[in-house]
Amino acid sequence: MPLSFSCATRLGGVLTVCLLATQPALAQLTEMPAQRLGLVPLPREVKAYTATYALPQKISIYATGKDGSNVAGLLKEMLTGLGKTVTLTSTRAGANIALLTAATPNPEAYQLTVDQQGIRITAAGGPGLFYGAQTLLQLLPARSAATAPVPYVRINDQPAFRWRGGMLDVSRHFFSVEFVKKYIDLLAAYKLNTFHWHLTDDQGWRIEIKKYPKLTQVSAFRKETLIGAQQLFKTPAEFKYDATPYGGFYTQDQIRDVVAYAQRRYVTIVPEIEMPGHSVAILAAYPELACKPGTYETWTMWGVNEDIVCPTEPTFRFFEDVLSEVTALFPGPYVHIGGDEAPKTRWKESAAVQEIMKKEGYTDVEKVQGWFNRRIEKFLASKGKKLIGWDEILEGGIAPSATVMSWRGEKGGIEAAKMGHDVVMSPTTHMYVNYGQSPKPHSPYEPLMIGGYIPLDVIYNYNPLPAELTPEQQKHVLGPQANLWTEYITTPAAAEYMLFPRLLAVSEVAWRPAAGKSYAEFLPRMGQQFARLDAKKVYYRVPEPLGLDSASVVRQNGKAVFTLRSLVPGAQIRYTLDGHLPDETTGLYTKPVAVPLNKGLTVRAVTITPGGRKSPPAELLVN
């Protein structure tokens, strides 16, 4: 057996202790496909081996410094949750897990080694150590287990993009601090590092601002909410409302608590304070900020509202006051100012806006929004913050150092990058995770939703770097972001259903270079995450069985033969041929099934997970 040495050097190299080890070095071990580890996102370089390190019941974690101690503390919480007894130590010798620092150019890069000496994570500092720890957790059992054999690995990893985002709209429906923390945990577990918190909109203002108490007394509440999917009604006259007051907000103490929680997990929060559009909730409390005097109410339906704030001095004072409090609460570099969907109906009718146009020499009212944004940008800069906005901010003349979040496709992002602005790619075509997951619009098996159909493969195959940008321009693409708008998402479970498993595909879009992605190879790795999501009590959408589509069905001897498989390990597939919805009592799929052609039979099949959860049905009319 080959020998290997492990040496510990005391400061200055005065004393060097080398231990002669008789265990095999990694180079002499049997390799296995990295794929089998089931990691999401797949690290940049992985070597995996069949040998395992037996992580004992009592574990010690070695770490030094503030970041090392932070990550060690988080690992301790996670491992304690897996039934281990964990101590933190500042003595390297004998530690089962060592968190080590070494200079690397990318602060998010890390190395993870598991071998006979135990587990070592090496990184420049906190973020890298944290991501190494997340990868390690995915090598451990999903739940408390008597033994935890950790496969020997040598992993070298770093992200493709700096901005790896997930947005949550808490205005249309309010989400508790507890759920916001869970969302942040889930982002971080899949190495997403940016939480875009959409805090204000027509349907509710959700952040306490000390100087404007009516924002949380009035704007945070609406008197009722539209029932049903708005786009299915022909005219507003058909709308029905639930006659139930709705609202909520975060106190500044709660915001500070969430910020600290995110910081511990190396997640940057980007707060969004919408302006000048999506602002009727502000007018409900402060109607003097409207162009037209009147009474306004926090909106009870969805869409784009023509009642927006007027771009006059009192409005600037309002937003500057609000942003002073917001910038003091959020330590991250960016503040999102919205900027989307701001109709100029009221501005066109306003003498005050005409006055601004005359003074600035504008003939196009859209230019007033650009002027407004540039003033806000200057104010944010005075607070040391950068402005980011939806791609409409390009239209009225963009603020010089603004970052653009491209949502109406990639066009805005491409244009902005060509102009030298940084961009975040979150196009509705690929990154809107509130859009549907069933090919059938308004499927009876899916929740109410808005928008089109964005299945997993469409997300997975998204490349945030548009081909028409030069390599130099591509450097302005900070990364991708998934958006979750919540018009029809009223509970944490409903949010999780839309987010998972699609967020796993987003994770890989953000972490992997496009050339290193393969959807076919992603699916089985994703499958291995379901047990982890179960352990975290995440209400993911159980994927329907694969193979029930006309391209996969084989027609022979007057029959259609279908071969099904599930993406969920250990799941059952149940099916019916009589039009009923399959359940635990209907046919158990064990081998390919032949169905006579031309009898008008519909095959329906569902996945039933080991935990008993069911997928929506896959279905095919056989003819």
Instruction: Using CB under 6 A, list all residues that contact ligand ACM.
Output: 340-341, 390, 407
- Contact between 81 and 109 under an 8 Å Cβ cutoff? The reply is no
Q: Are 37 and 46 in contact (CB under 8 A)?
A: yes
Nearer to ligand ACM, 127 or 396 (CB): 396
Contacts of 54 (CB under 8 A, 6+ apart): 147, 148, 149, 150
Residues identified as active-site: 341
Concatenating the DSSP letter of every residue in 139-194 gives: HS-SS--S-EEEEEEEEEE--S-S--EEEEE-SSS---HHHHHHHHHHHHHTT--E
Cβ neighbours of 174 (radius 10 Å) = 20
Q: How far is the CB of 428 from ligand ACM (least distance, A)?
A: 7
Q: For residues 286 and 180, what is the distance between their CA atoms, to the nearest angstrom?
A: 28
Rounded Cα distance between 200 and 274, Å, is: 6
* Distance of closest approach, residue 520 Cβ to ligand ACM, in angstroms: 31
Residue 198 CB, nearest approach to ligand ACM (Å): 9
Residue whose CB is less far from ligand ACM, 483 or 528: 483
Nearer to ligand ACM, 185 or 340 (CB): 340
Nearer to ligand ACM, 185 or 341 (CB): 341
Nearer to ligand ACM, 407 or 522 (CB): 407
CB of 219 to ligand ACM, least distance (A): 19
101/564 Cα distance (integer angstroms):
48
Q: Is 245 left (phi over 0), alpha (psi -120 to 50) or beta?
A: beta
How buried is residue 402: exposed, middle or buried, by Cβ count under 10 Å (0-12/13-18/19+)? buried
Which one, 340 or 395, has the nearer CB to ligand ACM? 340
Strands 423-425 and 477-484: parallel
How near is the Cβ of 435 to ligand ACM at its closest, in Å? 11
Pick from 334, 336, 337: nearest CA to 311: 337
Residue 275 CB, shortest distance to ligand ACM, in Å, is 13
| Residue number, 390 or 589, with CB nearest to ligand ACM | 390
Cβ neighbors of 354 (< 8 A, separation 6 or more) are none
Extract the tokens encoding 441.
């619009």
The amino acid occupying position 567 is L
User: In Å, how far are 76, 80, 96 from 86, measured between CA atoms?
Assistant: 6, 7, 10
Q: What are the φ/ψ torsions at residue 372 (nearest 5 degrees)?
A: -60, -50
Is the CB of residue 333 less than 8 Å from the CB of residue 327? no
Largest CA distance in the chain: 88
Shortest distance, position 430 Cβ to ligand ACM, whole Å:
13
> Cα separations (Å) of 81 from 85, 141, 182, 245?
9, 11, 15, 39
- Residue 212 contacts residue 285 (beta carbons within 8 Å): yes
Report the candidate in 186, 343, 182, 208 with the shortest Cα–Cα distance to residue 273: 208
Residue 134 contacts residue 191 (beta carbons within 8 Å) = yes
Burial 403-426 (b: 16+ CB within 10 A, else e): bbbbbeebebbbbbbeeebbbbbb
Of the pair 297, 341, the CB lying nearest ligand ACM is at 341
DSSP three-state, residue 50: strand
The residues facing 4 across adjacent strands are: 21
Buried b (16+ CB within 10 A) or exposed e, 78-89: bbeebebebebb
Q: At what angle do helices 177-189 and 492-499 cross, to 10 degrees?
A: 20
